[in-house]
Structures are given as C-alpha cells and as structure tokens.
Chain A
Amino acid sequence: MSSHDISEDNLPHKQAHAHGALGVADKDNPFADPGLPPHEHRIQDIDEKASKRSERIVAALFTLSMLATIGFIAAFVALPVDKIVYIFPLGHISALNFSLGMTLGVALFAIGAGAVHWARTLMSDVEVAAERHPIEASPEVREQVFSDFRDGVTESGIGFGRRKLMRNTLLGALTLVPLSGVVLLRELGPLPGEKLRHTMWSKGKLLVNVNTDEPLRPSDIAVGSLTFAMPEGLHEHDHDFQKEIAKAALMLVRLEPNDIKDKRELEWSHEGIVAYSKICTHVGCPISLYEQQTHHVLCPCHQSTFDLADGARVIFGPAGHALPQLRIGVNDEGYLQALGDFEEPVGPAFWERGES
C-alpha cells in the first residue's frame, strides 16, 4: 500500500506561508492571519461603579444560595413526606419534593451563576495564546525507545528464536488460565433442555379465570368478550408463579363458528371458544389488544397483528409465526378444560425451536 499511497501533493499546503506569523500582518496578503486582535476593555475594567455592581450581584447570588439551602433544610424538617399541594400547572404534587427540588436547584444554580458572573465580569478576560507541541516524539526519542525495547527483549531471552520452549509454554499457560473464569460462569444457570417446550397446561387442567380465580364454563364467555385464563392449580402466591404464567397465560375469545376460517382452529375450539397463548411469538410481550369486530389481536410492544379467526396467523408486524393454540373441551361437570399442552413452544422463537 505504501508505495502507492496518496501522494503528499494531494494534501493542502501546510498553510504556513499563507498564515503570517503571529501578529505580523502581511501587507501584500489580505488573507494572511492578522494575529490576535487587540484586547478591548469591558465596562467593568474601566468603570469602578460597574465592577462594584458586578461584585454586589455575585455576592447576592451566593447569599441567595445560602438562603435556599436554609430553605431546603427548613422544608425537610417542616413538611410531612405525604403532603400534597395543588400548584398550577403542575397539578397535585408532593409539597416536599417540590420545595426540596426548587430550593436545592436554586442553591446550586446561584453558586454556579455567581461564579460564572464573577469570571465573566471581574476576572481577566485577556486572551492568551499557548504554544502547541507535536504529539509525536522526535526520531531520536523513537530510536532510543526501540533500542531500549530490543535490549530488554534480548536480556529476557525470549526474543530472536532463543528459548522457544519457555516462551511457548508461557503463552500456553496465559491462554489457558482465563478458562477457569469462563468455566465458573457455567453455574449462572441451567441448560435449556426442553424447558422452553412445555408449559403447565396438560390434559384435564381446568381453565381458571384470572379475574375471579374460578374455573370457566363455556356459557361464561360471550361472543365479542375477552377473557384471560390460567391453568388450575396456579396461584399468585406460588414461588414459581411468574415463571409459569410467563408461559401458560391464555387468552379466550368466542367467535361465531362460521367466522372461523382455519379448519384446525375450529377443531380445537369448543362451541366457537378458542384459546390462544397470550405470549407474543415475536419477543414475548403479553399480546391482548383484541379488536372484537375484526377478530385481530395486536401486540402493544411491536405491533405484530394476528387474525384470531384464521389460526392466529400473522397479518402485520415483526412476529414470525402464528400464536400457539390450546386445544380445549369441557369436562363432565361442564367446565372448560385443556385437552393437552400446547403442541409447540409458546413465546419467542429460538434456534432449537424448529418448524412445528
């Protein structure tokens, strides 16, 4: 690459000739650097009254800050934590939060404003130029560094093909030793196994209404209504409730059997009642924005839309496959029950999922 690298000619000139030396304007070159403009005085530099005024403003700001801090402490002591006040246009807000925040804000802001005003009006505003030095070291330094390095390497005995065995075993040891750390990470969690393929649902499990904790009957579910169910035996206080409901959450709707376009869906339904997983097949949001006139269900997270009248097929959005359907029927006592687990994994797709 280097032999055909971009030639230096393509680079702009080093501009040194175009920019006159500092402060020396080139008469013939109107583009040349005229140097730093002469310093102009501020009002405060020449008017004692103005500078006194600035000083008073700065002192007043610092005093304001002290008062605000006292106000902060007073508010902290005086206001109960649950006191609510109405402040337009903020609404009904916590008196303590508002007064603490405002006093703290003022106390801090006034210090800053005072310091900045001081710097802007009373400290010297003469602009100064400081020299820059190239970051790169000089060739001599560079040469010195390299020769030092060579010396060091030679003295260690590693370099230039000597003592290869020692060097290679060291490299081997250093490569292997982090493995201990990696191996320890194995304890972070179990292997996936078949965990993602099964839910709590099984043949004969009743469909329990999430709202009432009562098993559901077909007559409870009207056309156009939306019901959420969980498997019998799952309770909010169970220690693995979150894990189980994350897979078993069920959404029940009743369609006119004539409206059901998918043959399998009709077979797996009961009197038009269909049970679908509530967990989106995209990334697992509980999907339940059911539009009862269109039979579409929308995910609030990423807008995947499924047609519940057509096997919950994806009709819009990023989900890759239909919502899993749960096969349902009624038991001897007339309660809705599952006729097995979902036949495919619920929730987001994953590498081992495969086609169902």
Chain B
Amino acid sequence: MNLFDILGPVMVGPSSSHTAGAVRIGRMARRLLGEGTPQAAKITLSGSFAATGQGHGTDRALVAGLLGMQTDDARIPVSFAIAKECGMRCTFARKNLSGEHPNTAKLELTGKSGKSLSMIASSLGGGRIMVVEMNGLRVSFSGDLPTLIVQNRDQPGHVRDVSGVLAAGGVNIATLHLYRDYPGGSAVMIIETDKTVPEESLDTLRAIRGITGVTFVSAETGMMPVASPTKISES
C-alpha cells in the first residue's frame, strides 16, 4: 500500500468499505455506461452490503456515485433527493449473490439513449474496489490505473490489433486480461495502461471489424464516450 492508501481517502463516513467504496462502485458504473447520469438504476445489495448497508449509508453512497459524486462530497447523505431532482429512478433489492465477496453490489443501469449496463463490483476495504462482472462476463479490474475495455467477437487477431494500436500510440500496457463466454462468442479485454490512451487510438480500434465496443476509463479525468455501444452477451 502506498502512503496515501494509509492516509486517506478523504471521505464522508462512516465506513471506507461500505461508504467510500460504495461511492466508487456507483461512479465506476456511471463511467462504464458513459452517458452521464443514468435514467434508471436497479441496485442489488449482497452480503454485508445488504445486512449493514443502510446503517453505513451504502445505498445513498451508491446513488451518489451514480450521480458522479466523489467520496468526499457533502451531499452523499442526501443523494436520494438529488437523484429525484435529476430524474434518476432508483430501485433497491437485497439478494445474496453467491460466491461473491461479502461487500458486493450489482448495478443495472439504463442510460438516456436506452443503452444498458450491468455491473457487479466488490468493495475490498480502504475504499478500494474491484469490478468482477460486466454485462454478464466475469472480469477483474479496479480502475486504479487508466483502463481500456475492448469488447470483441472471440476470434483470432484482436489482441494483436489492440496491442499494435497501443504500441503505435506510445501507450505501455501494465496488465492485460482476456475473458470470454464461450469459444467464438463474446469476449472482453481489460487492459490497464500507464497513461491515457489517445483519442485517435480509440477511434482506430473502433473502426476494426469484430470489435464491438471500446471504453476508456481514465484514472484521473473521467470517461471518454463509447463509439460503438453494442452490448456484449447478457448471460
């Protein structure tokens, strides 16, 4: 852990895992949807999030994150009222998502364009989070580093395409993970990089046949728009 994992985050209490981590989960889902504040959000609380979430403000924290707030935003306690003003409909359910980390939530979002996103993420402690499922595919990324998410058909050559475009753009790959539902089905690449992926590189990727979605989540500056918002499999 670095020095500022020990000191910080600056956050609205009471719990780094159940409050600050929940804000970050909501924020990540908003950024992955990529259309600003969602129109509707169905939020499922699992495990300890379900058991003690209300007392820790987990529900309000998730909604605050969906509204784009940071962990230190003084409006987190009143996020429900702000969601109402913004026209974001929120519904809550409690259900144990078996096999998941104790502090886990599932967020199903619908954006203004009708685009949908389903995400399961866990709060690991100290405000750190991990996305473990995206649109039905198992994944694993934290958003601590700039992260490129490429959705593609599961066929030969796409790793070469993506690594080639990143190399040409001068972007070093820190980590690379591949996931798919079945051979020849839908696949997703999660690539953590050491710096921001240039917009031209994203456009180049979007133009490649077989690549159905390109999403870039910067560690600092929020999220760039998704050009081809084709959904990957809903299992």
**Is B one of A's binding partners?**
no
